[in-house]
Amino acid sequence: MATEHTAQEISRLRRCVNDVASILELPAMWTEHDSSRVTTTLLDVLVRLLDLDFAYARTFDPADESPREWMRSADTSNRYAEAHDVGRALERYLSADTSMQGLRIANPVAEGTASIVVFHLGVQDRVGIFVAASRRSEFPTETERLLLQVATNQAAVALQEARWIEQREATVEIERTRTKAALQDSEERFRQMADSIPETIRLIIDSTPAHIHTALPDGYIDFFNQTWLEYVGLPLANIEGWNWTCAIHPDDVEGILKKWRAALAGGEPFLHEARVRRADGEYRWMLHHKVAQRDERGKIVKWYGASVDIEDRKRAEEEIKRLKEQVQRENVALREEIDKASMFEEIVGSSEALRKALLQVAQVAPTDSTVLITGETGTGKELVARAIHRRSRRSSRAFVSVNCAAIPQSLIASELFGHEKGAFTGALQRRLGRFELAEGGTIFLDEIGDLPPDTQNALLRVLQEREFERVGGTQSIRADVRVIAATNRDLKSAMSNGTFRRDLFYRFNVFPIEIPSLRERKEDISMLVKYFMDRYASKAGKTIRGVNKKSLELLQSYPWPGNIRELQNVIERSVIICETENLMVDKNWLTQESVKIQSLGRPLSEELVAREKERIEATLVETRGRVSGPSGAAAKLGIPRSTLDSKIRSLKINTHRFKTF
């Protein structure tokens, strides 16, 4: 019972990790998108991922702070209901004191009631409100609350970034319009008044707020208006022969000169950003723009230019860049923690057997080929699968792990392929399967030797046609997923006795990798012992400098039926009780394990099959051979009739001999 509970906890943890990994992909979907795209993507993903009844969001227009509302519903017939109607129904729950507190309210999009939780997007500078709702009375669980918090935190950053981008683009457009208008105005005035009223021209140019300057055809700047001179603090009397580059930031001089020379050579408009020293000594970013005036023959006779202060825009861009880098660092750190939580150790060792397996990993990782990893329990098959994923072109997408032996056979099809609402008793909502969650990434199917016949058929279709259907559904779903499978069973024997399909085996067996047992890599034991010893001593706050010589010899002579996982457990136990600087191992631990392994009269797989057959036959005796119906064997065993029929065929049970006439 404890083992089953532990397996369920591990399965739950892995599902949570996969959900977090999926949520961490959201910022990549929001890059360079506006605030509307950020909000709608957040709603669509969370409604699907967390099986929400509906999700509602309200953000504020950066231009006039007017509210924008969005709503997504799991009910496809009511998916885009009027958002403002839902917002009006939720208004009383959107205050600050209800944030993140679960509430039960009348469901605004369907019959009955719903549990809601409210998140305010942003802390000091709030950019919106998000509401998640579900008819489930236990909503939100702690895991769901954590996932919602991670998603809304990322959305708040993305929304703030989108607002800055929108404001920046509006500012740039205004600056360009103003610059263009100033240049056009200056050119027109020069054309109309150049010969007749030069003093009026100077008066107009000096009074304009734009930083105006002119240059001769060879590029020599011969005029700065009063606005420019006051900006750099240069008296009019000193303008003759003034070298304008001395006001440019030293780091920007080479770039602006290079761009100016290129404009002079080609006669094309000049547009460049460079910092200029103001009269008070502060350098500020400015956008410099020059256009050429040509005569009737197309020859350049004058250059007219204007410059605009863009310091505020540049600071906003730097802040956006800083926030993006911060989010990326946090995502990388979280991914590393997730990776560490998902594997039991690093690949440690230098034996020839291990090097051979790792060479195969390096060869197959860059491809999309299906991989079958075989090896005894505890050899690290999932660790090898993760290494293949990390070295593949799919490494930036999800790695979804499924332990086929830890999922009840009646639920494994739903777990892998998902199910539609009402597909079976208890299917209250549509649920995405592991294949959909792994879209674009890798799915790892561990212990495939435990797959029931019906699921084997569905998997064969996925591997052959790259498509599947949800349980209870009729729509085919494309699967862009790389498949890595693993088993500690003898699949060839399973094929011989009819419990595993031959065609499925050959589909899995495209690129087989056999992970050596610890008995085959004894030279790695001392290295593994030191690795685990240092790891657990550090966690326990102990200083252990070495391993007792006799203990090390004992560890190297032991056959390790549980392989690396067993060695890991033994070292952890030894570190816990160690009170000296030398680690010692109690030989009785190894002897007891060895006796248990040797006491098994036959392989565990054969024993489980025999027990299953005995239980089915005993139930058929009780029901007098009846399989279906309320009093049939399927109902008494608690499994669907189709599953029982498959087991009866695979175990070669003759139901007729149990019937009485």
Is pLDDT above 50 for 344? no
Q: Identify which has the larger pLDDT, 15 or 310.
A: 310
Q: Of 552, 582, 598, which marks where a domain is finished? A: 598
Give whichever of 58-62, 340-344, 373-377, 608-612 has the largest mean pLDDT. 373-377
Q: Give the tokens for residue 259.
A: 């761009």
One domain, residues 522 and 593: yes
One domain, residues 140 and 79: yes
pLDDT at 598: 41
317, part of any domain:
no
DSSP element (H, E) containing 370: none
Place 280 in a pLDDT band, splitting at 50, 70 and 90.
confident
pLDDT at 371: 95
442, part of any domain:
yes
Q: Identify which has the larger pLDDT, 614 or 501.
A: 501
Report how far residue 441's alpha carbon sits from residue 24's, in angstroms, rounded to the nearest whole number: 14
Q: Which of 383, 378, 372 is nearest to 514 (CA)?
A: 372
Q: What is the CATH number of the domain that holds 264?
A: 3.30.450.20
162, part of any domain:
no
Neighbours of 71 (CB within 10 A): 25
Q: What angle do CA 101, 106, 112 make, to 5 degrees?
A: 120
Q: What is the mean pLDDT of residues 337-353?
A: 60
Strand pairing of 300-309 and 283-294? antiparallel
β-sheet bridge partners, residue 446: 403
Report how far residue 393's alpha carbon sits from residue 397's, in angstroms, rounded to the nearest whole number: 9
Query: Could you tell me if 589 and 573 are in contact, meaning their C-beta atoms sit under 8 angstroms apart?
Result: yes
Burial 543-565 (b: 16+ CB within 10 A, else e): ebeebeeebbebbeebebbbbbb
Place 20 in a pLDDT band, splitting at 50, 70 and 90.
low
Q: What is the pLDDT of residues 438-491, one digit of tens each?
A: 888 999 999 988 888 888 888 888 888 888 888 888 888 888 899 999 999 888
One domain, residues 571 and 649: no
pLDDT at 338: 47
pLDDT at 6: 57
One domain, residues 400 and 267: no
Q: What is the CATH number of the domain that holds 402?
A: 3.40.50.300
pLDDT at 339: 47
pLDDT at 342: 39
One domain, residues 23 and 63: yes
Task: Return contacts of 198-201, CB within 8 angstroms, 24+ apart.
Answer: none
Report how far residue 177's alpha carbon sits from residue 132's, in angstroms, rounded to the nearest whole number: 43
Total number of domains in the chain? 5
Is pLDDT above 90 for 128? no
Report how far residue 227's alpha carbon sits from residue 383's, in angstroms, rounded to the nearest whole number: 67
Q: What is the pLDDT of residues 49-82, one digit of tens each?
A: 888 888 999 887 766 677 888 888 887 665 545 7
186, part of any domain:
no
pLDDT at 193: 41
Q: What is the mean pLDDT of residues 193-218?
A: 63
Place 396 in a pLDDT band, splitting at 50, 70 and 90.
confident
State the DSSP code for 515.
P
Report how far residue 501's alpha carbon sits from residue 85's, in angstroms, rounded to the nearest whole number: 55
Neighbours of 92 (CB within 10 A): 9
One domain, residues 383 and 272: no
One domain, residues 528 and 436: no
Is pLDDT above 70 for 26? no
Report how far residue 343's alpha carbon sits from residue 352's, in angstroms, rounded to the nearest whole number: 23
Q: What is the CATH number of the domain that holds 593?
A: 1.10.8.60
Place 224 in a pLDDT band, splitting at 50, 70 and 90.
confident
Task: Return contacts of 164-169, CB within 8 angstroms, 24+ apart.
Answer: 164/316, 164/319, 164/320, 165/32, 165/34, 165/320, 166/34, 166/35, 166/62, 167/62, 167/316, 168/313, 168/316, 168/317
One domain, residues 386 and 249: no
Query: Could you tell me if 43 and 174 are in contact, meaning their C-beta atoms sit under 8 angstroms apart?
Result: no
pLDDT at 264: 83
Residues whose CB is less than 8 angstroms from the CB of residue 178 and which lie 6 or more positions away in sequence, other chains included: 210, 308
Q: What is the mean pLDDT of residues 385-414?
A: 87
User: What DSSP string runs through 119-188?
Assistant: EEE-SSS--EEEEEEES-TTPSPHHHHHHHHHHHHHHHHHHHHHHHHHHHHHHHHHHHHHHHHHHHHHHH
Neighbours of 525 (CB within 10 A): 21
Q: Identify which has the larger pLDDT, 176 or 592.
A: 176
Q: Identify which has the larger pLDDT, 40 or 332.
A: 40
pLDDT at 593: 45
Residues whose CB is less than 8 angstroms from the CB of residue 656 and which lie 6 or more positions away in sequence, other chains included: 625
Task: Return contacts of 175-180, CB within 8 angstroms, 24+ apart.
Answer: 175/287, 175/308, 175/310, 175/313, 178/210, 178/308, 179/210, 179/287, 179/289, 179/306, 179/308
Is pLDDT above 70 for 360? yes
Place 369 in a pLDDT band, splitting at 50, 70 and 90.
very high
Place 238 in a pLDDT band, splitting at 50, 70 and 90.
low
pLDDT at 21: 61
167, part of any domain:
no
pLDDT at 101: 59
Place 389 in a pLDDT band, splitting at 50, 70 and 90.
very high
Q: What is the mean pLDDT of residues 406-432?
A: 81
Q: Identify which has the larger pLDDT, 99 or 195.
A: 99
Q: What is the pLDDT of residues 187-196, one digit of tens each?
A: 554 454 444 4
Q: Give the tokens for residue 11.
A: 């399965």
pLDDT at 628: 82
Say which amino acid occupies 472. Answer: G
Report how far residue 275's alpha carbon sits from residue 254's, in angstroms, rounded to the nearest whole number: 12
Give whichever of 129-138, 424-433, 620-629 has the largest mean pLDDT. 129-138
Query: Could you tell me if 273 and 310 are in contact, meaning their C-beta atoms sit under 8 angstroms apart?
Result: yes
315, part of any domain:
no
Give whichever of 68-72, 101-105, 626-630 has the largest mean pLDDT. 68-72
Q: What is the mean pLDDT of residues 532-560?
A: 87
One domain, residues 58 and 111: yes
327, part of any domain:
no
What is the average pLDDT value for the chain, to the nearest integer? Answer: 78
Q: Of 309, 329, 356, which marks where a domain is finished? A: 309
Strand pairing of 546-547 and 582-583? parallel
455, part of any domain:
yes
Q: What is the mean pLDDT of residues 500-507?
A: 90
One domain, residues 533 and 547: yes
DSSP element (H, E) containing 32: none
Q: Identify which has the larger pLDDT, 402 or 340.
A: 402
β-sheet bridge partners, residue 308: 287
State the DSSP code for 543.
-
Is pLDDT above 50 for 315? yes
Q: Of 497, 514, 531, which marks where a domain is finished? A: 514
Q: What is the mean pLDDT of residues 498-523?
A: 90
Point out the least confidently predicted range of 235-244, 262-271, 360-369. 235-244
Report how far residue 68's alpha carbon sits from residue 607's, in angstroms, rounded to the nearest whole number: 63
Place 594 in a pLDDT band, splitting at 50, 70 and 90.
very low
pLDDT at 155: 80
Strand pairing of 511-514 and 546-547? unpaired
DSSP element (H, E) containing 3: helix 2-24
pLDDT at 4: 56
Is pLDDT above 60 for 180? yes
Is pLDDT above 50 for 492? yes
- Helices 563-577 and 525-540 meet at what angle, rounded to 10? 40
Is pLDDT above 60 for 320? yes
Report how far residue 170's alpha carbon sits from residue 34's, in angstroms, rounded to the nearest whole number: 13
Query: Could you tell me if 134 and 52 are in contact, meaning their C-beta atoms sit under 8 angstroms apart?
Result: yes
User: What DSSP string runs through 431-499?
Assistant: EE-HHHHTTTSEEEEE-GGG--HHHHHHHHHHHHHSEE--BT----EE---EEEEEESS-HHHHHHTTS
Q: What is the mean pLDDT of residues 531-545?
A: 87
One domain, residues 368 and 492: yes
Cα pseudo-dihedral 145, 149, 155, 157, rounded to 10: 180
One domain, residues 83 and 98: yes
Report how far residue 645's alpha carbon sits from residue 639's, in angstroms, rounded to the nearest whole number: 10
pLDDT at 546: 86
Identify the domain containing residue 522 by its residue range: 518-598
% the chain with pLDDT above 70: 78
On whether the pTM is more than 0.85, the answer is no
Report how far residue 573's alpha carbon sits from residue 415's, in angstroms, rounded to the nearest whole number: 35
pLDDT at 66: 77
Query: Could you tell me if 267 and 218 are in contact, meaning their C-beta atoms sit under 8 angstroms apart?
Result: no
In the Cβ-directed half-sphere of 91, how many Cα atoms lie within 13 Å? 6
In the Cβ-directed half-sphere of 54, how many Cα atoms lie within 13 Å? 26
Is pLDDT above 80 for 259? yes
Is pLDDT above 70 for 413? yes
Q: What is the CATH number of the domain that holds 87?
A: 3.30.450.40
Place 204 in a pLDDT band, splitting at 50, 70 and 90.
low
pLDDT at 385: 93
pLDDT at 366: 92
Point out the least confidently predicted range of 207-211, 329-333, 535-539, 553-557. 329-333
Backbone angles phi, psi at 531, to 5 degrees: -60, -50
Backbone angles phi, psi at 437, to 5 degrees: -70, -25
